[in-house]
Amino acid sequence: LMPMALILSLLFVALTSNWLKRKSSFRDEIRRGIERSEFSVHYQPVFNLQTQKFSGAEALMRWQRPDGHWVRPDVFISAAESEGMIVPLTRYLLQRVIQDSAQWQLEPGFHLSVNLAAEHLQHDEFMSDIRAFAAGMDHLKPTITLELTERSLIGEDRMVSQRLAELRREGIIIAIDDFGTGHCALSYLQTFPLDYLKIDRGFVNTIESVDGETPVLDAIISLADKLALKVVAEGVENEMQLRYLQNHGVSFIQGYYFARPMESAVLSEWLQEHNG
């Protein structure tokens, strides 16, 4: 019989080497996925209650493996973030959106949102990436919106706040995504230049009736109002939630109630059909 210590150490080596292999191959798979165009972009329209029209859309990345399997975005995005692949992946997305947009007709000023990871904001080529994107989209004259999570605004980073201020002067809009879920202090709200606050689906889910009480959601809405930020509510799935948000002065609605994320090829026609 092998001594217990030997068995344990063999087991340990087997487990860790297997784990390392899986980890490095995920990175390689993302890289290969980019090379083989396995990633695509879906677009979810956002409804403006004031104009009663769809006034924007959010670009959301999708990954379909060669075997047909769709990898969940939250899974591959966090893997890309932790394995140093989020910047190349985001660059791929930005290029893809430019390509997709060749077949669109949009009203000038239509808000087109992209999600950016914290790491990208610190990157040397962040400004040139965003400017190249804006230049590539210029044929449609959209309003480009950058969706940033609270985590990317942690610590009053002067470089990031200057970069955002500069982009804003160039007509780009900044939205804070998944608001209230980041376990962050709120001081960044005073430091960073922001335009929109996106309320996470988790808070929309707390709405139980049109005239019910949802104190945290209400506080977020009134905070946004005091800071002169526009509010987008995410994950709106039914009429009751819609009415509640409308009664509380929220102007922008994103969710399955109005539209699911859709393929690039149908976005433009869909918008024309629904915006009359």
Of 198-257, binders to ligand C2E (CB under 6 A) are 201, 234-237, 254-256
Would you say 19 or 256 has its CB closer to ligand C2E? 256
Of 223-242, binders to Ca ion (CB under 5 A) are 234
Q: Does 157 bind Ca ion (CB under 5 A)?
A: no
Of 71-90, binders to ligand C2E (CB under 6 A) are 73-74, 77, 90
Fill in the per-residue mask, 167 to 186: x = in contact with Ca ion (CB under 5 A), - = not in contact.
----------xx--------
**201-206 contacts: CB < 8 A, separation 24 or more?**
201/234, 201/235, 201/255, 202/235, 204/233, 204/234, 204/235, 204/236, 204/241, 204/245, 204/255, 205/235
Counting residues that bind ligand C2E (by CB under 6 A) gives 22
CB 189 within 8 A of CB 179: no
Would you say 10 or 265 has its CB closer to ligand C2E? 265
Q: Does 150 bind Ca ion (CB under 5 A)?
A: no
Closest approach, Cβ 178 to Ca ion, in A, equals 4
CB 170 within 8 A of CB 146: no
Q: Which does 73 bind (CB under 5 to 8 A by kind): Ca ion, ligand C2E, none?
A: ligand C2E
Would you say 210 or 262 has its CB closer to Ca ion? 262
Q: Does 56 bind ligand C2E (CB under 6 A)?
A: no
- Residue with structure tokens 């009751």? 240
Closest approach, Cβ 235 to Ca ion, in A, equals 8
Q: Does 93 bind ligand C2E (CB under 6 A)?
A: yes
Strand 70-71 relative to strand 111-116: parallel, antiparallel, unpaired?
unpaired
Residue 222 token pair: 């009134």
Q: Does 129 bind ligand C2E (CB under 6 A)?
A: no
Q: How far apart are CA 112 and CA 55, in angstroms?
A: 9
Q: Is 22 exposed, middle or buried (0-12, 13-18, 19+ CB in 10 A)?
A: exposed
Closest approach, Cβ 149 to ligand C2E, in A, equals 7
| One of 147, 167, 261, 271 touching Ca ion (CB under 5 A) | 147
Fill in the per-residue mask, 65 to 84: x = in contact with Ca ion (CB under 5 A), - = not in contact.
--------------------
| One of 44, 55, 115, 152 touching Ca ion (CB under 5 A) | 115
CB 210 within 8 A of CB 247: yes
Using CB under 6 A, list all residues that contact ligand C2E. 44, 60-61, 73-74, 77, 90, 93, 115-117, 177-178, 201, 234-237, 254-256, 261
Using CB under 5 A, list all residues that contact Ca ion. 115, 147, 177-178, 234
